[in-house]
Chains A and B, each alone.
Chain A
Amino acid sequence: MILLEIKELTKTFPGVVANEKISIEVNKGEIVALLGENGAGKSTLVKSVFGLVKPDSGTIKIKGDVIEYGDTAAAIAHGVGMVHQHFQLVQVMTVTENIILGDEPRKGAFVSMKSARQEVIDLSNKYGLEVDPDAIVEDLPVGLQQRIEILKALRKDIDLLILDEPTAVLTPQEIDELLSVIKNLAASGVGVLFITHKLREVMAIADRVVVLRNGKLVGTTTPKETDEEGLAQMMVGRNVVLRVEKKPALVKETVLEIKNLSVKDDRNLMAVNDFSIEVHAGEILGIAGVEGNGQRELVEAVCGMRNRVTGSVKILGAESPNLNPHDVRLMGLSNIPEDREKDGLVSTYSIAENMVLNRYDQPPFANRGIRNFSERDKYAEALVKEFDVRTPSFHNLASSLSGGNKQKVVVARELSQDSKVIVASQPTRGVDIGSIEFIHNQLVSARDNGAGVLLVSAELDEILSLSDRIAVMYEGKVVAILNGEGADRQHIGRLMAGLKE
Chain B
Amino acid sequence: MRKIRNYTIAAVLLAVWIFGYVLDSGITNSVLSSGLRFGMPLALAAMVGIMCERSGVINIGIEGTMLLSGFFGFYAGVYTKNVLIGFAAAIIAGITASFLHAMMTIVWKMDQIIAGTIINILASGLTSFLYVAGVTIPNNWPIFDIPVLSKLPLVGESFFSQQGPIQYLGLIFIPFIWIMMYKTRWGLRTRSIGENPGSADTAGVSVIRMRITNVVLGGAIGGLVGGFICLELVGSFSKEFTAGAGFTALALMIFGRWNPLGAFAAAIAFGLAQALSTQLQIFGVQEIPQQFINILPYVFTIAVLAFSAGKVRPPAAAGAPYEKEKA
Contacts and interface: CB of A to CB of B under 8 A. Distances in A.
Interface string B175-212: 00000000111001101100110111111110000000
A164 to B, nearest CB: 11
Interface of A: 47, 50, 52-54, 70, 72-73, 76, 82, 84, 86, 88-93, 97-98, 100-104, 106, 109-111, 152
Nearest to A86: B198
Contacts of A109: 184
A331 B316 CA distance: 38
B327 A92 contact: no
Contacts of A86: 198
B183 A88 contact: no
Q: Which 6 A-B pairs have the closest CB atoms?
A: A102-B203, A88-B199, A73-B204, A90-B195, A88-B202, A110-B183
Contact of A104 (B185, B191, B199, B327): B185
Nearest to B187: A111
Contact of A52 (B195, B196, B324): B324
Interface SS of chain A: loop
Interface SS of chain B: helix
B325 interface: yes
| Central interface residue in A70, A84, A97, A111, by most chain B CB within 10 Å | A111
Contacts, number: 74
B3 to A, nearest CB: 11
Contacts of A97: 188, 192
Contact of B196 (A50, A72, A91): A91
B160 to A, nearest CB: 26
Contact of B195 (A70, A92, A103): A92
Contacts of A70: 324
Contact of A101 (B188, B325, B327): B188
| Central interface residue in B199, B201, B205, B313, by most chain A CB within 10 Å | B199
A47 B189 CA distance: 22
A279 to B, nearest CB: 39
7 contacts: A84-B327, A88-B199, A88-B203, A91-B196, A92-B316, A101-B188, A111-B184
A76 B204 contact: yes
Contacts of B313: 92
A390 to B, nearest CB: 21
A89 B200 CA distance: 9
Nearest to B189: A101
A82 B183 contact: no
B324 A93 contact: no
Given A102-B200, A102-B204, 19 more contacts: A47-B327, A50-B202, A52-B202, A52-B327, A53-B325, A76-B203, A88-B198, A88-B199, A88-B202, A88-B203, A88-B327, A89-B199, A90-B191, A90-B192, A92-B313, A101-B205, A103-B203, A104-B188, A111-B188
